[in-house]
Structure 1
Amino acid sequence: MAVDAARASLDDLMAWVGVDGLVAALRTPGLLAAIDQHAAAVRDVLGERVTDAPALAEYALDVHAAAIVEGHLLPDPGRLDWSDAPAYLMRLVAVCALADVADCL
């Protein structure tokens, strides 16, 4: 994936789940801790590529695709109870957090 396309994909992801998820996490310490754990898992998978926009975008696309294949409905994040968010959404929010820190947005 090209860098510009990856950044656009990460921007879209941030608009879809990242903003709502991170705002909810800032209000709820337990949720923030859960997102941090998901971010650690992403760092474990991507290693040095965790600051690479294409690697983050491809990882997020894989998580999203797997959720669809597993039959998960993709909820409206604005209406979601983030304290009970499914793991795949938490993982996507973690990708957004990592992308923000890595200046990939």
Structure 2
Amino acid sequence: MDRLHRQVGAVGLAAAAVLPGLSAQVDQHAAEVRDLLGVRGRRPTLTALASYTDGLLDGATGRGWQPPQHDLVGWAGADGVAVRLLALCALVTSAVA
């Protein structure tokens, strides 16, 4: 999760703070992840988030997906995998806060 935060989360969360559309997408993906993990209305555990993230990354990289190299503006057009990973970074950040 630390590597993911360095590759995707740090710049992506900063972009979401200034791009309302991206912020809304991240919120939607975070809600979907909470629903998938069966923790609606609660914070998912770090273990559950890490396991889900590993599965998502394995599937995405198996299809040739690469982590984005976006600057702040580039995040406006981020693909669904990148936004889902960004939502996971946001969930982890809130889980450890």
TM-score (norm 1): 0.79
The whole-number CA distance in structure 2 between the counterparts of 1:80 and 1:16 is 16
Structure 2: runs of 5+ lacking an equivalent:
none
How far apart, CA to CA, are the structure 2 residues paired with 1:88 and 1:82? 12
**d(CA) in 2 for partners of 1:50 and 1:77?**
28
User: What is the Cα-based RMSD across aligned positions, in Å?
Assistant: 2.1
Identity of aligned residues (%): 41
The gaps in structure 1 that reach 5 residues or longer are 1-9
The 8 Å contact of residues 15 and 72 in structure 2, kept in 1 or not, is answered as no
Of 73, 85, 90 in structure 2, the residue corresponding to residue 97 of structure 1 is: 90
**Which moved further from structure 2: 52-61 or 78-87?**
78-87
Question: Number of residues paired by the alignment?
Answer: 95
SS at 2:38 equivalent: helix
More helix by share: 1
User: Measured at CA, do residues 50 and 58 of structure 1 come closer, stay the same or move farther in structure 2, by a change above 3 Å?
Assistant: farther
* 1:16 correspondence with 2:12: no
TM-score w.r.t. the length of structure 2 is 0.85
Q: How far apart, CA to CA, are the structure 2 residues paired with 1:90 and 1:53? A: 19
Q: What residue in structure 1 maps to residue 30 of structure 2?
A: 39
Match among 62, 83, 92 for residue 55 of structure 2: 62
Could you report, residue by residue, the CA deviation over 1:21-53 in whole angstroms, capped at 9, with x for unpaired residues?
100000111110000011011101112385211
